[in-house]
Amino acid sequence: MVRKRENAVFLTCDYSRPAPPLVLKGGRVIDPVNDIDRVAHVVCAEGSIVGVVDEVPARFADAQTIDATGKWVVPGLVDMHVHLREPGREDKETIATGTRAAAAGGFTAVACMPNTQPALDEESKIRYVIQRGEHCPSRIYPVGAITKGLEGEELAPIGEMVHAGARAVTDDGRSVARTNIMRNALNYSKSFNIPVICHCEDTAISWKGHMNEGVFSTRLGVRGIPTIAEEIVVARDLLLAEYTGARIHIAHVSTAGSVRLVREAKARGVNVTAETCPHYIALIDEDIGMYDTDKKMNPPLRTDRDRAAVIAGVADNTIDVVASDHAPHVPEEKDVEFEAAAFGVIGLETSLGVILTFMVHRGLLSPQQLVERMSVAPNRILGLGRGSLSPGDCADLTIIDPKARWTVDARRFHSKSRNTAFEGMKLQGYAGGTIVGGYAVFNRNV
């Protein structure tokens, strides 16, 4: 089924049927895993990569062709931190609209968080999400809950959820407050070789806070969330990971102190990976201006010093992954006074443009490193078995137009929600096309 919207085309695919041959012609092919960075053609057939070639073999002369001249062709980008709100809040987002937004943002796969209503805390709910995502334009990998109902009291059946297809566990949205429960979760997840994704927040300290605690929150008269609310739990979870030998992934790192803690833990061999989000790279607390609720998220925007440390962490690979923390909300939850507004911003359709604009085009991150942070690392952490263009690999690819200049206009988003922190921002670069299993599921310029 083809669904047209403005100048873009989305396909809804039956991925179980072999995709017809497809050739991406003349792009700059960037594949850090195979150390490829040159202008070439990428040939795909039956859902797999045939090869990165200088001459297209004669037998593919009649294949569907996409002209990638002037663009980058890279292994499909993966956003490992999104909230798709289904089941329960389909007024904010659905698996169908969220995966269209993902494809339009260049993501061939997303990992969705379990804080739905009800929470994804048992096998049947994991299966439900996977089944709902089957024909969507982006692949969907559910993350299961650590505790039943995300209530922090009783472990969810982690083994059964992993068996059903969960790629990680988290209580994202809140920390697991009880250290003994977190320790048990780490020990369990270790036996299934999955990461525990840590939302690090000591709510005894952050409680009733709405933005970063500092000079600017004082000026606005808004109760703050200090950096230490995040860092105390980052430190705890790093110690627990070190003690148990389990694998942890620190979600949405926002402070200089968290970056330092992760860097030190990695240096002494702790099994940790970390992520940050585009808004912590591009914005600071002062951008909240006069109580802009579309810049309210958790953890909150921090200071310029924190932002610089986060950028340095992404550049030196202390922070392995950039993920959006796409968190859709309806206007009724944002068009209210600052203290009453919901935490969270959407990001699937702006992530790539923000990272290109604020890091790659400023010389802070190479194009290869961008592919590592947005494709190779999330693939590795979640064990998806993709993120490279070797012959036989799955034909999940993103075509990046690094030069296109555009202005963020939420009305044009494919997401159901509009709560972006980047409205009106001028960006350079976006996804020109998204290919999943050899199907061109999104093509911007049709």
Residue numbers at the binding site for Zn ion (CB under 5 A): 172, 199
What is the C-alpha R_g of the chain?
Answer: 21
Between the CA of residue 335 and those of 332, 340, 341, 349, what are the distances in Å? 6, 9, 7, 21
Omega prior to 378 cis, within 30 of 0: no
Please state, in angstroms and rounded to a whole number, the distance separating the CA atoms of residues 157 and 146.
Answer: 8
**Overall residue count recorded for the chain in this entry:** 446
Long-range CB pairs of 154-158, under 8 A, 24+ apart, other chains included: 154/181, 155/181, 155/184, 155/185, 155/188, 156/121, 156/122, 157/122, 157/123, 158/185, 158/188, 158/189, 158/192, 158/194
Smaller CB distance to Zn ion: residue 256 or 323?
A: 323
- To which H or E segment does residue 72 belong? strand 72-75
* Cα 17 to chain centroid, rounded: 28
- Record the tokens describing residue 258, joined without a space: 């968290």
* Residue 325 annotated to the active site: yes
Smaller CB distance to Zn ion: residue 344 or 353?
A: 344
CB-closest chain residue to Zn ion: 199
| DSSP letter, residue 422 | T
Residue whose C-alpha is closest to residue 115's, from 69, 175, 194, 46: 175
Smaller CB distance to Zn ion: residue 41 or 199?
A: 199
Handedness of CA 29, 355, 9, 49 (dihedral sign): positive
Minimum Å gap between C-beta 143 and Zn ion is 11
Minimum Å gap between C-beta 254 and Zn ion is 10
Beta strand pairing status for 107-112 and 77-82? parallel
Tokens 């494919």 — which residue?
414
> Which residue of the set 79, 285, 325, 393 is catalytic?
325
Residue whose C-alpha is closest to residue 231's, from 249, 267, 205: 205
Strand partners, 248: 196, 272
Smaller CB distance to Zn ion: residue 198 or 270?
A: 198
Minimum Å gap between C-beta 173 and Zn ion is 6
Smaller CB distance to Zn ion: residue 199 or 210?
A: 199
Please state, in angstroms and rounded to a whole number, the distance separating the CA atoms of residues 137 and 10.
Answer: 7
Minimum Å gap between C-beta 326 and Zn ion is 11
Q: Which residues are catalytic?
A: 325
